């Protein structure tokens, strides 16, 4: 801070009376001092830099302002007024970096920019790690196709009921947006039904192929509600390579619970289903349909039928949930208790029923 203090006494004269070239040079030097000491600056020091830079930075040429914006956008203690000033610039080369990532920007500034600026500013904001419902309401209302698609595809974006309704309305004319919205984890069943009700069958089928197994079950339920025909779509997973791998294990005598546990723990879905099918004599299509539903019961039943240890069943449950979902310990304990209580005779009757339907 010693160097900064030596510059500050003469800054007032530079700001008020000097030519633009001297102001640009002062802005460059003061900014560099800030970057050098940013990690140890206190709030009062940051405010001092803020007061100085908001008067100097506007005199810096566009490319240099863009470089400053890029560096300031990555700092959690960046000068707040300066960041707001940069975000409000019409030149997207300057505003873009802070709109995309600056943690200093608050919703008040973001909403102002979203309401007043153009599509480039909205597109930059769509890349922020989080977006509030108030902000996405404006972005969906004002944004062009690319802005809305990017916003809908942002997992950190939150949408109000009004926002989702607007998204779904726009999706009726945009198949890509339908696929994007349909894959959101926070999409309710009611909104999913509304979304699919306004989409073409080819889009519905494509969405079914893209989503996780638990969402596939929800899509099938929705299609059943819309068409009156349950389970309209079947999984498009390719089990052929997995079947070949399981056949090779069977021929060498290595198809056992240890192999199944290895597949499940590595989240190899196709290989796990193919192994379960070979060990239980239940068809792959039947097992895939049952296990990709919205309950753990089929895993418990087929596990009890084969005689699997709890560790293997647990791994299969985690496989069904997916790599990015971690269940609460209490939920896993409930599943363990249910598995322990399940009688082998009950599992045999259910599996027999599955096989009868499968044959039919």
Domain layout of the chain by residue ranges: 1-105, 240-359
The two three-digit tokens of residue 349, written as one number: 């009757």
Compute the average pLDDT of residues 323-349: 89
d(CA 267, CA 318): 8
Task: Indicate whether 61 pLDDT > 70.
Answer: yes
d(CA 309, CA 330): 19
pLDDT of the residue at 247: 86
**Spatial CA neighbour of 223 closest among 195, 263, 252, 242:** 195
Long-range CB contact pairs, 91-94, < 8 A, 24+: 91/62, 91/65, 91/66, 92/118, 92/120, 92/121, 92/124, 93/62, 93/63, 93/66, 94/62, 94/65, 94/66, 94/69
Query: How far, CA to CA in Å, does 256 sit from each of 244, 264, 280?
Result: 16, 13, 11
d(CA 85, CA 331): 49
Least confident of 13-22, 51-60, 77-86, 232-241: 13-22
DSSP 199: S
Lookup result for tokens 């008067």: 55
User: For residue range 281-317, what is the model confidence (pLDDT) as tens digits?
Assistant: 888 888 888 888 778 899 999 999 999 999 999 999 9
Task: Indicate whether 6 pLDDT > 50.
Answer: no
d(CA 326, CA 312): 17
Q: How confident is the model at residue 227 (pLDDT cuts 50, 70, 90)?
A: low
Burial 55-94 (b: 16+ CB within 10 A, else e): bbbebbeeebbbbbbbebbebebbbbebbbbbbbbeebeb
The two three-digit tokens of residue 219, written as one number: 């899509």
Q: How confident is the model at residue 192 (pLDDT cuts 50, 70, 90)?
A: very high
User: For residue range 34-57, what is the model confidence (pLDDT) as tens digits?
Assistant: 888 888 888 888 898 888 898 888
3-state secondary structure at position 131: strand
Q: Is 357 left (phi over 0), alpha (psi -120 to 50) or beta?
A: alpha
pLDDT of the residue at 229: 54
Compute the average pLDDT of residues 158-162: 96
d(CA 24, CA 296): 65
Work out the number of other CB atoms within 10 angstroms of the CB of residue 229. 9
Task: Indicate whether 318 pLDDT > 70.
Answer: yes
Q: Quick one: 319 exposed, middle or buried, by C-beta within 10 A (0-12, 13-18, 19+)?
A: buried
Average pLDDT, the chain: 86
Task: Indicate whether 277 pLDDT > 50.
Answer: yes
**Spatial CA neighbour of 321 closest among 233, 216, 212:** 212
Neighbouring residues of 57: CB distance < 8 A, sequence distance ≥ 6: 27, 31, 65, 68, 82, 85, 86
Task: Indicate whether 216 pLDDT > 70.
Answer: yes
Task: Indicate whether 230 pLDDT > 90.
Answer: no
Which residue has better confidence, 281 or 226?
281
Name, of 27-31, 151-155, 319-323, the range with top average pLDDT.
151-155
Q: How confident is the model at residue 233 (pLDDT cuts 50, 70, 90)?
A: low
Q: What is this structure's pTM? A: 0.62
Compute the average pLDDT of residues 310-337: 88
Q: Is residue 337 within 8 Å of residue 310, measured between CB atoms?
A: no
User: For residue range 111-136, what is the model confidence (pLDDT) as tens digits?
Assistant: 999 999 999 999 999 999 999 999 99
Compute the average pLDDT of residues 235-253: 84
pLDDT of the residue at 3: 41
pLDDT of the residue at 359: 52
Query: How far, CA to CA in Å, does 360 sit from each of 292, 354, 357?
Result: 21, 10, 5
């Amino acid at each position: 801070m010693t160097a900064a203090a030596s510059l500050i006494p003469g800054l007032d004269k530079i700001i008020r009376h000097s030519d633009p070239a001297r102001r640009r040079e002062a802005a460059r030097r003061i900014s560099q001092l800030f970057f050098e000491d940013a990690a140890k600056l206190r709030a009062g020091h940051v405010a001092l830099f803020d007061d100085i830079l908001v008067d100097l930075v506007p005199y810096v040429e566009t490319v240099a302002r863009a470089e400053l914006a890029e560096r300031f956008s990555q700092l959690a203690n960046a000068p707040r007024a300066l960041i707001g000033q940069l975000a409000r610039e019409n030149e997207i080369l300057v505003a873009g970096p802070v709109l995309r990532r600056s943690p200093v920007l608050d919703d008040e500034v973001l909403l102002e920019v979203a309401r007043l600026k153009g599509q480039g500013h909205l597109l930059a904001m769509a890349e922020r790690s989080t977006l509030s419902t108030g902000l996405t309401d404006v972005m969906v209302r004002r944004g062009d196709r690319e802005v809305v698609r990017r916003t809908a595809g942002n997992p950190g974006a939150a949408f109000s009921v009004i926002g989702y309704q607007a998204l779904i309305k726009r999706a009726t004319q945009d198949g890509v947006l339908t696929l994007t919205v349909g894959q959101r984890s926070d999409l309710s069943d009611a909104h999913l039904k509304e979304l699919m009700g306004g989409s073409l069958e080819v889009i519905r089928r494509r969405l079914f192929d893209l989503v996780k197994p638990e969402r596939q079950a929800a899509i099938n339920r929705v299609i059943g509600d819309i068409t009156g025909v349950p389970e309209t779509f079947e999984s498009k997973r390719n089990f052929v390579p997995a079947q070949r791998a399981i056949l090779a294990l069977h021929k060498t005598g290595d198809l056992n619970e240890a192999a199944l546990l290895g597949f499940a723990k590595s989240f190899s879905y196709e290989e796990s289903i193919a192994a379960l099918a070979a060990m239980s004599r239940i068809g792959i299509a039947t097992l895939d349909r049952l296990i990709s539903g919205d309950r753990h019961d089929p895993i418990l039943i087929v596990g009890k039928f084969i005689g699997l240890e709890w560790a293997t069943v647990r791994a299969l449950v985690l496989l069904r949930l997916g790599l990015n979902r971690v269940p609460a310990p209490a939920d896993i304990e409930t599943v363990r208790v249910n598995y322990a209580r399940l009688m082998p005779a009950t599992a045999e009757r259910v599996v027999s029923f599955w096989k009868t339907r499968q044959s039919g």
